[in-house]
Amino acid sequence: MVTLTYNEISWLWKVQPGLTYIHGANLLAGTFKFTAQYRTLEKITDSYDLVIRFTSNGILPEVYETRGKIARMAKIAGKQIGDFHVNSDGTLCMIREDKVYSIYKNGFDLKLFINHLMTHFYWISYYGIYGKEPWIAEEHGYGYLLNKLLWTKRL
Amino acid sequence: MEKNFSQFLCNLRLTQNQREDAKKKYEGVINCLARHFYDRGRNDSDQYLFGSYKTKTAIRPIEDGSDVDVLFKIDNDSYEKYKDNASGILQECRNALKDTYSTTEEIHAWGKVVLVKFSDGTHNVEVLPAWEKSDNKFFIPNTEDCGSWETFDPRSQIASFQESIDSTDGLTRDCVMMIKNWVRNTITMKYKSFNVVQDVISFANSIYSSGKRDENYDVVVRDFFNYWVNRLSDKDERRSHFQTALNRANKAVQYEKEGKHIEASEEWRKIFDPKLFPHSDKNEERENEVNRFSTAPRPWSH
């Protein structure tokens, strides 16, 4: 299970002072803020209240948005919350399971993860504000596994 | 921007004098009709105030068409007399009012109402003669298409509006007032006040059902435009106006987050009446490090 080191916590405090590491519970909680821009698309400044729980299930922690902001964005857009990549258990789904190691080649890396959070929330904010995806998201569900199997059989 | 919006709402609200003027006028009209129909002065049960003066969503400036809407309750005898002659009751009301408001005011009767247009250029009064039914709804005359009587239920409209105000801690009322100002400022758009109220209720009850809490007005108003852009059909001629307002609101919210209050207020002053929405005169110096990226993982969900 991932636990954060003193150096990591110090670094995090500088880049995301709104997030606090709660050692006993091994989680981060607070407000994640960013100003970001993808290619030539609009610059977005936004923030989300999060709980980020480090568990022994997989490399990445469980991320929960705790203020209902994403649910509200989905309602405004007239869409389901799953369209904003929130799973039925409330966790955010930031990457397809089979692609985790393409980003986290050496296991969990806090700097990579914070950057990943920033790009993920840019996507969410952009979709909520402009009603279109800034870049294509994965298809929902496990259909990709079937496609992989069919492709493998073809070979 | 919250202060700007608070000041804007103050600029929209009627003054004490304006509210008193409106009350004096509609009570005067009802008093006149009560003397004619019942041979006595007005009492509170003779009337039912509805529309923007009842819901306290009438806004400044008072324009032509800012009418106080009030029902005058006719008795069974009057209803029986005119039940086959809808225009007759309107004409009798008009004639009764002309005796009092003889030279300086214009009085017109058509459709469903008698309009008393005051010469001071402030509030006019639109009075509907109405017969109250046992189910607490009203029968009102309609002179169009050869004339008939139709059911009108202002109480349920007022009740649903009041319910929304109570549950959203007043946000519904604030939004109605601001959106009415936007509509006035968007002169090529046709958007009736009744529909504004219904649309704001629908939005507020769905998205801010417990009020705005610690959310800012600029985000709430932006969300209203976004909500309806996502619901209006392409054929609805209001859609392009909503989209234009949304584009400006999105810019304004982003400027505000960057501390660019001047630019943010300028965007809002393109949406709302610039004579009423305050201008910000100072930006904040903020270090907004922009994270630029060109590749990113694709979000998923299972």
In DSSP terms, A129 is beta-bridged to none
Query: What class is the B14-152 domain?
Result: alpha beta
Cβ pairs bridging A and B (under 8 Å): 103
A123, A137 Cβ separation under 8 angstroms: yes
Condensed to tens digits (0 to 9), the pLDDT of residues B182-204 reads 999 999 999 999 899 999 999 99
Q: Which residues of B touch A129 (CB under 8 A)?
A: 226, 250
Facing residue for B297 by CB, picked from A43, A99, A124: A99
ipTM of the complex: 0.87
Confidence of residue A119 (pLDDT cuts 50, 70, 90): very high
Boundaries of every domain in chain B: 14-152, 157-271
- Which amino acid appears at position A97 of this protein? E
pLDDT of residue B106: 65
Please give the residue that has the higher pLDDT: either A56 or A67. A67
Residue B292 has pLDDT above 80, yes or no: yes
Q: Which residues of B touch A135 (CB under 8 A)?
A: 296, 298
Condensed to tens digits (0 to 9), the pLDDT of residues B228-278 reads 999 999 999 999 999 999 999 999 999 999 999 999 999 999 999 999 999
Facing residue for A76 by CB, picked from B230, B258, B299: B230
Facing residue for B300 by CB, picked from A46, A75, A96: A96
Confidence of residue A145 (pLDDT cuts 50, 70, 90): low
Residue B75 has pLDDT above 60, yes or no: yes
Residue A92 has pLDDT above 80, yes or no: yes
Q: Which residues of A touch B257 (CB under 8 A)?
A: 35, 45-46
Confidence of residue B138 (pLDDT cuts 50, 70, 90): very high
Q: Which residues of B touch A42 (CB under 8 A)?
A: 254
Residue A155 has pLDDT above 60, yes or no: no
Structure token pair of residue A94:
């930031």
Q: What percent of chain A has pLDDT over 90?
A: 69
Residue A52 and residue A54: Cα distance in Å, rounded?
7
Average pLDDT of span B71-85: 92
- pTM for the predicted model, two decimal places: 0.90
Q: Cα distance from A78 to chain B (closest Cα, Å)? A: 7
- Residues 27-66 of chain A with CB under 8 A from chain B are 34-39, 42-46
Condensed to tens digits (0 to 9), the pLDDT of residues B87-97 reads 889 889 988 99
User: Nearest CA to A72 among B33, B276, B219, B239?
Assistant: B219
Condensed to tens digits (0 to 9), the pLDDT of residues B107-134 reads 676 677 888 888 777 888 999 999 999 8
Condensed to tens digits (0 to 9), the pLDDT of residues B29-67 reads 999 999 999 999 989 899 999 999 999 999 999 877 678
Taking CB atoms within 8 Å and a gap of at least 24, the contacts of B82-85 are: B82/B141, B83/B149, B85/B147
Q: Which residues of A touch B288 (CB under 8 A)?
A: 35, 45
Q: Which residues of B touch A48 (CB under 8 A)?
A: none
Average pLDDT of span A89-110: 88
- Residues 1-30 of chain A with CB under 8 A from chain B are none
Please give the residue that has the higher pLDDT: either A154 or B165. B165
A69–chain B Cβ distance below 8 A for any pair: no
Burial of B101 (0-12, 13-18, 19+ CB in 10 A): buried
Condensed to tens digits (0 to 9), the pLDDT of residues A1-19 reads 788 889 999 999 999 999 9
A130–chain B Cβ distance below 8 A for any pair: yes
Q: Are residues B206 and A136, on separate chains, in Cβ contact within 8 Å?
A: no
Q: Are residues A37 and B299, on separate chains, in Cβ contact within 8 Å?
A: no
